[in-house]
Amino acid sequence: MILEHAAVEPFLKNGFVVGCEETREGIIIDPGDEVDQLLDAARRQRLTITSILLTHAHLDHITGVDRAKAALGVPVWLHEADNFLYERVVQQGLAFGFRVAAQPPVDHFYQGEGPLRFGRYQVRVLHTPGHCPGGVCLAVSREGEQETVLFVGDTLFAGSIGRTDLPGGDLDTLLRSIREVLFSFPDDTVVWSGHGPVMTIGQERRTNPFLT
């Protein structure tokens, strides 16, 4: 699997390019202010990006959708329950003191777990509400293989969990999503979150103070 990530000020939010080493097809996850680095990475890796997948619609995860879509001309996917946030990105910016451009409309709402595909890889879409109503985690694996890499947005961080004080957030729902969905994966599963360093399921199961 080809995996590139980038994060820039002010949000230091991780955006990702994930590609198939065999077919050179790929996806972009959560393009924000670091979108130019993601587009550069896709070019450097000679990837044909086939879709833009969003883990959720908080402004830091979607401010680069317009530029990604203009550059790539591919569909944008989101969980329908977060569309109210997506459509209010300008107001989200105002609430945090940032001027943010409106974003192009979402093309597709996720339908169940999918899966979506790029090259030899599949993406299962796991609904994990709690940080926001339409939060999803994206479980990427190679066809016929068990090993999975999780992209969890702001559901889980190394040593922490997503905030639940924003519209539609709920702590009990978030803890249930983490325990029932994410902790169903084996300990050695690699987890990339929306902010901060990479982790594993086992590390968080053992040491995350919100979950032990």
Q: Which residues bind Zn ion (CB under 5 A)?
A: 13, 58, 60, 154, 194
Q: Shortest Cβ distance from residue 131 to Zn ion (Å)? A: 6
Contacts 24+ apart (CB under 8 A), 104-108: 104/65, 104/66, 104/69, 104/76, 105/76, 106/54, 106/76, 106/77, 106/78, 107/75, 107/76, 107/77, 108/75, 108/76, 108/77, 108/78
Q: Given the complex with Zn ion, which of 13 and 69 has the nearer CB atom? A: 13
Q: Shortest Cβ distance from residue 47 to Zn ion (Å)? A: 24
Q: Shortest Cβ distance from residue 68 to Zn ion (Å)? A: 17
Q: Given the complex with Zn ion, which of 47 and 150 has the nearer CB atom? A: 150
Q: Shortest Cβ distance from residue 176 to Zn ion (Å)? A: 18
Q: Given the complex with Zn ion, which of 28 and 47 has the nearer CB atom? A: 28
Question: Quick one: tokens of 11?
Answer: 């949000």
Q: Shortest Cβ distance from residue 165 to Zn ion (Å)? A: 11
Q: Given the complex with Zn ion, which of 55 and 141 has the nearer CB atom? A: 55
Report the 10 Å Cβ neighbour count for 44.
Answer: 10
Q: Given the complex with Zn ion, which of 26 and 194 has the nearer CB atom? A: 194
CB 110 within 8 A of CB 135: no
Q: Which residue is nearest to Zn ion (CB)?
A: 58
Alpha helices in 17-58 (DSSP H): 35-44
DSSP string computed for 97-145: T------PPPSEE--TT--EEETTEEEEEEE--SSSTT-EEEEEEETT-
CB 17 within 8 A of CB 26: yes
